[in-house]
């Protein structure tokens, strides 16, 4: 039997009076695009006693003063860095062929837990004990998290995108270590330890997302997604506790990309210095042209977009600038700028002013949809985004070029944020089904039959 839910397509492959079922759960969006697939065999599981026995968040009363980032970063030096520990694991334990090629992967979350060597898993997990006990666990309990990335607000030019984030990227390895520990705990039936480790990982993801960079938000989202993947192992484990209320307690969104999105949207003119004071700066005509070409060249190189730069070369020539000039000039005149002033401007200045304004218009056109619910915004936001990017670079000017470079990453960030929320919704729904089965002795035929707890909407 199968039934649909706004978040899910759930199929009972096997259902029995013993309240045990094999499930295939596909998280889908409104257009039917599959986002996540869970396959699990689950048992009925009643509501815990007390109901909030398990927590996937750190309780406010348990929070301690201090900077979480300091604790995490102390775990990086040699001996504690998960990357080095994983290197040792690869030497200590023979690799096996996981993805059709020889290489690491026996500890991957993509491997079914039942297929792993329990002894190997337990021994490997112990390699992260000091990292966990001395650094990550206490870090997860800190009330504040400051990665020291605030200097981004004082920076300008392409250097903003040259700012390296090795500390944030290392947190991915921390999360891999935590997931190994969680799976080892599940394998030995220590569900309390598994829940604690997942709680620490959720908190790590939220802390990483507090860095002002959008890439940090995406790393934080990836970390929390790892917890969601291991949650499937835990829910599927024999006699595992029902975590409906623990999952419901998680904040929504888990990692909020709004602040990082606002910062990213404001970077347009800052990463292309010639645009910052385009309306008041004074340069010779040749200098305006040189500054525009040089700034865009440096930006595309820093964004690792050599192909993009090669595509843009034709648009930085004097001939292309002249083609861009008439529509840019017309837009300035239509905005109410004094005609005599526009006529007196060098071509490069007209292009620079127009670029700053057009980028701002497109950035605002995308950002505004962040402030209404996703279901109301997604179709219009996507349509506007595609319409903007479909505009000719020659007629749209350098503002369209800048939007081509910067806005796609922003558009995908909210999708990632929503995907995690849907994953949580799917997990909560499965836990509601398990709770219903525990109370009634069987799984429901329809979601509407579940009355014991609210289902995600």
Q: Tell me the pLDDT tens digit for each residue of 23-32.
A: 555 554 544 4
The pLDDT value recorded for residue 48 is 97
User: Taking a C-beta distance cutoff of 8 angstroms, is the pair 162, 275 a contact?
Assistant: no
Which residues, other chains included, contact 333 with Cβ-Cβ below 8 Å and sequence gap of 6+?
339, 342
Q: Which of 207, 230, 256 is the last residue of a domain?
A: 256
Residues 215, 361, single domain; the answer is no
Tokens of 421: 């929320």
Q: Measured in whole angstroms, how far is the alpha carbon of residue 83 from the centre of its chain? A: 21
Residue 191 has pLDDT above 80, yes or no: yes
Is there a cis peptide before residue 395, judged by omega within 30 degrees of 0? no
Residues 233, 344, single domain; the answer is no
Residue 34 has pLDDT above 60, yes or no: no
Between 342 and 149, the higher pLDDT residue = 342
Minimum mean pLDDT range among 19-28, 96-105, 404-413 = 96-105
Q: Which of 195, 229, 256 is the last residue of a domain?
A: 256
The CA distance from 117 to 119, in Å, is 6
Considering the entire predicted model, what is its pTM?
0.86
Q: What average pLDDT score do residues 46-64 get?
A: 96
Residues 249, 286, single domain; the answer is no
**439 membership: H or E segment, kind and range:** helix 398-440
Give percent helix, percent strand, percent coil of the chain, each to the nearest 5.
60, 10, 30
The pLDDT value recorded for residue 7 is 44
Residue 102 has pLDDT above 90, yes or no: no
Residue 161 has pLDDT above 60, yes or no: yes
Q: What rounded mean pLDDT belongs to the chain?
A: 82
Residue 394 has pLDDT above 60, yes or no: no
The CA distance from 275 to 353, in Å, is 7
The pLDDT value recorded for residue 32 is 42
Minimum mean pLDDT range among 107-116, 198-207, 414-423, 444-453 = 107-116
The CA distance from 268 to 444, in Å, is 52
Confidence grade of residue 2 (pLDDT, cut at 50, 70, 90): very low
The CA distance from 45 to 26, in Å, is 21
237 domain residue, yes or no: yes
Residues in the chain: 457
45 domain residue, yes or no: no
The domain tally of the chain equals 2
Residues 204, 299, single domain; the answer is no
Minimum mean pLDDT range among 26-30, 59-63, 123-127 = 26-30
User: Taking a C-beta distance cutoff of 8 angstroms, is the pair 226, 201 a contact?
Assistant: yes
Residue 1 has pLDDT above 60, yes or no: no
Residues 249, 380, single domain; the answer is no
The pLDDT value recorded for residue 18 is 46
User: Taking a C-beta distance cutoff of 8 angstroms, is the pair 260, 212 a contact?
Assistant: yes
1 domain residue, yes or no: no
The pLDDT value recorded for residue 171 is 93
User: Taking a C-beta distance cutoff of 8 angstroms, is the pair 317, 324 a contact?
Assistant: no
The CA distance from 121 to 83, in Å, is 17
The CA distance from 401 to 292, in Å, is 12
- Domain residues for 204? 58-256
User: Taking a C-beta distance cutoff of 8 angstroms, is the pair 85, 128 a contact?
Assistant: yes
Between 158 and 242, the higher pLDDT residue = 242
Residue 22 has pLDDT above 60, yes or no: no
Phi-psi category of residue 105: left, alpha or beta, with phi > 0 → left and psi -120 to 50 → alpha: left
Residues 306, 167, single domain; the answer is no
Q: What average pLDDT score do residues 113-139 get?
A: 89
105 domain residue, yes or no: yes
**198 membership: H or E segment, kind and range:** helix 191-208
Q: 103 in helix, strand or coil?
A: strand
Between 56 and 106, the higher pLDDT residue = 56
Helix boundaries (H) for 267-338: 268-271, 285-302, 306-312, 318-334
Residues 217, 290, single domain; the answer is no
Residue 133 has pLDDT above 90, yes or no: yes
Confidence grade of residue 107 (pLDDT, cut at 50, 70, 90): low
Between 30 and 234, the higher pLDDT residue = 234
Residue 83 has pLDDT above 60, yes or no: yes
The pLDDT value recorded for residue 316 is 54
Q: Which of 387, 374, 456, 364 is nearest to 416 (CA)?
A: 374
Residues 209, 280, single domain; the answer is no
The CA distance from 297 to 292, in Å, is 9
Interior/surface letters 435-454, b for 16+ CB within 10 angstroms, e for the rest: bbbbeeebbbeebeebebbe
Q: What average pLDDT score do residues 314-335 get?
A: 79
The CA distance from 272 to 312, in Å, is 15
Q: What average pLDDT score do residues 441-453 get?
A: 91
Residues 370, 317, single domain; the answer is yes
The CA distance from 161 to 142, in Å, is 29
Highest mean pLDDT: which range of 89-93, 156-160, 193-197, 210-214: 193-197
Which residues, other chains included, contact 330 with Cβ-Cβ below 8 Å and sequence gap of 6+?
none
Which residues, other chains included, contact 99 with Cβ-Cβ below 8 Å and sequence gap of 6+?
105, 110
Residue 202 has pLDDT above 90, yes or no: yes
223 domain residue, yes or no: yes
Residue 393 has pLDDT above 70, yes or no: no
Minimum mean pLDDT range among 14-18, 265-269, 359-363, 443-447 = 14-18
23 domain residue, yes or no: no
Q: What percent of the chain has pLDDT over 70?
A: 78
Tokens of 163: 């700012």
Q: Which of 355, 377, 210 is nearest to 293 (CA)?
A: 355
Residue 92 has pLDDT above 70, yes or no: no
Residues 317, 240, single domain; the answer is no
323 domain residue, yes or no: yes
Residue 373 has pLDDT above 50, yes or no: yes
Residues 100, 244, single domain; the answer is yes
239 domain residue, yes or no: yes
Residues 299, 407, single domain; the answer is yes
Between 405 and 437, the higher pLDDT residue = 437
Beta-strand relationship, 142-144 and 64-67: parallel
């Amino acid at each position: 039997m199968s039934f649909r839910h706004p978040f899910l397509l759930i199929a009972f492959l096997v259902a029995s009076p013993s309240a045990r079922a094999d499930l295939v759960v596909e998280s889908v969006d409104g257009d039917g695009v599959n986002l996540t697939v869970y396959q699990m065999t689950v048992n009925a599981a009643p509501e815990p006693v007390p109901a909030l026995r398990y927590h996937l968040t750190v309780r406010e009363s348990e929070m301690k003063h201090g900077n979480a980032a300091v604790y995490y970063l102390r775990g990086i030096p040699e001996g504690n860095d998960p990357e080095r520990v994983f290197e040792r694991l690869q030497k200590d334990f023979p690799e096996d062929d996981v993805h059709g090629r020889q290489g690491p992967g026996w500890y991957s979350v993509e491997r079914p837990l039942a297929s792993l060597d329990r002894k190997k898993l337990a021994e490997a997990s112990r390699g992260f004990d000091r990292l966990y006990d001395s650094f990550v666990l206490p870090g997860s309990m800190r009330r504040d998290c400051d990665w020291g990335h605030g200097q981004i607000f004082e920076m300008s030019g392409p250097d903003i995108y040259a700012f390296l984030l090795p500390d944030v990227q290392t947190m991915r390895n921390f999360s891999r270590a935590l997931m190994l520990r969680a799976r080892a705990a599940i394998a030995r039936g220590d569900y309390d330890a598994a829940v604690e480790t997942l709680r620490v990982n959720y908190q790590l993801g939220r802390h990483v997302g507090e860095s002002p960079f959008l890439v940090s938000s995406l790393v934080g989202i990836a970390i929390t997604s790892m917890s969601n993947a291991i949650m499937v192992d835990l829910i599927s484990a024999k006699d595992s506790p029902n975590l409906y209320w623990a999952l419901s307690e998680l904040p929504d969104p888990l990692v909020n990309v709004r602040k990082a999105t606002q910062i990213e949207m404001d970077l347009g003119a800052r990463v292309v210095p010639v645009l910052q004071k385009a309306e008041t700066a004074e340069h010779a005509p040749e200098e305006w042209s040189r500054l525009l070409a040089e700034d865009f060249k440096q930006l595309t190189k820093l964004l690792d977009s050599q192909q993009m730069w090669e595509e843009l070369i034709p648009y930085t020539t004097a001939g292309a600038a002249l083609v861009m000039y008439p529509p840019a000039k017309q837009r300035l005149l239509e905005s109410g700028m004094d005609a005599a002033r526009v006529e007196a401007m060098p071509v490069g200045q007209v292009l620079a002013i127009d670029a700053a304004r057009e980028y701002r218009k497109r950035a605002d056109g995308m950002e505004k949809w962040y402030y209404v619910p996703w279901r109301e915004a997604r179709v219009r936001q996507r349509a506007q985004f595609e319409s903007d990017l479909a505009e000719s670079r020659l007629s749209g000017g350098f503002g369209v070029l800048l939007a081509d470079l910067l806005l796609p990453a922003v558009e995908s960030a909210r999708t990632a944020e929503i995907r995690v929320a849907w994953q949580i919704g799917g997990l909560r729904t499965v836990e509601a089904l398990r709770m219903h089965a525990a109370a009634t002795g069987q799984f429901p035929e329809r979601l509407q039959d579940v009355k014991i707890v609210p289902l995600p909407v």
